[in-house]
Amino acid sequence: MRLLNKIAVITGAGQGIGAAIAKAFIKEGAAVCIAELNAKTAEDVAWKLRADGGRAIAVQCDVADRASIDNAISRTISEFGRVDILVNNAGVNVFRDPLEMSDEDWRRCLAIDLEGAMHGSRAVLPGMIERGVGAIINIASTHSFSIIPGCFPYPVAKHALLGLTRSLGIEYASKGVRVNAIAPGYVDTPIAEAYFQTFPDPAAERKKAEDIHPPRRMCRPEEVAMTAVFLASDEAPFINASVITIDGGRSVIYHD
């Protein structure tokens, strides 16, 4: 019970990595708020967690809207009394040609992948500072430090998210608040599967993604989740303004 009696808000937790983090947090003794844009998937996840004996609520939340994330935090405090942990997991893939990309695509990517984390952090920081303790975990990406052609402007937002992680971590370290990031590579989620299905041979495309990783497989959502448990727990009191990469070693390969 590494998170016993801790209260967590997890954005984008209606599926994939976010849902896995919520499940792992419940298993480790936390209560969670599933803050998710899709109200149905949010409630589905929360219902399953409650059915297994966990404490969970679902709140519809658009992280690009500061008032919306403020509402999710307020609902959590009303239900559970405070917020000890924030996981800024909500994100969106926006892959466009830089010169053909619309202004709306640019704004959407930055609003969700970067500003959403800032909105959430601003909502929880006052309470964390007042209590002298708190953990914020930003789900970044290997796009945060590497570039894959054809993925603009997603890496721009994810690079900036690491800057936000480091800046906030240093800014509030003396107040007892730790801010860290996790940078996964390919993760076997419904979003990844939907991407593979856009190809004529989805199985071949999946195998291609698996084979570029040294372990010859993709990361599992629960592997990201358990790293989040560690960073959120009292076992990581001196880890701050840092990023943990979860990609099986792929990012250290110079070329294939």
Mean pLDDT of 193-210: 94
The answer to whether 73 and 32 have CB atoms below 8 angstroms apart is: no
* Fold designation for 7-184+220-245: Rossmann fold (3.40.50)
Reply yes or no on whether 172 is catalytic: no
Locate CATH 3.40.50.720 in the chain: 7-184+220-245
* Ordered strands of the 31-36 beta sheet: 56-60, 31-36, 7-11, 85-88, 134-139, 177-184, 243-246
At residue 63, the pLDDT reads 98
Q: Is the pLDDT of residue 150 over 90?
A: yes
Of 154, 172, 186, 195, the active-site residue reads: 154
Model confidence over 79-90: pLDDT tens digits?
999 999 999 999
Residues 6+ apart with CB under 8 A from 53: none
Q: How far is CA 121 from CA 127, 168, 176, in A?
A: 11, 9, 14
∠ CA 75-160-232, nearest 5°, is 45
Q: Which amino acid is at 136?
A: I
At residue 33, the pLDDT reads 98
Mean pLDDT of 74-98: 97
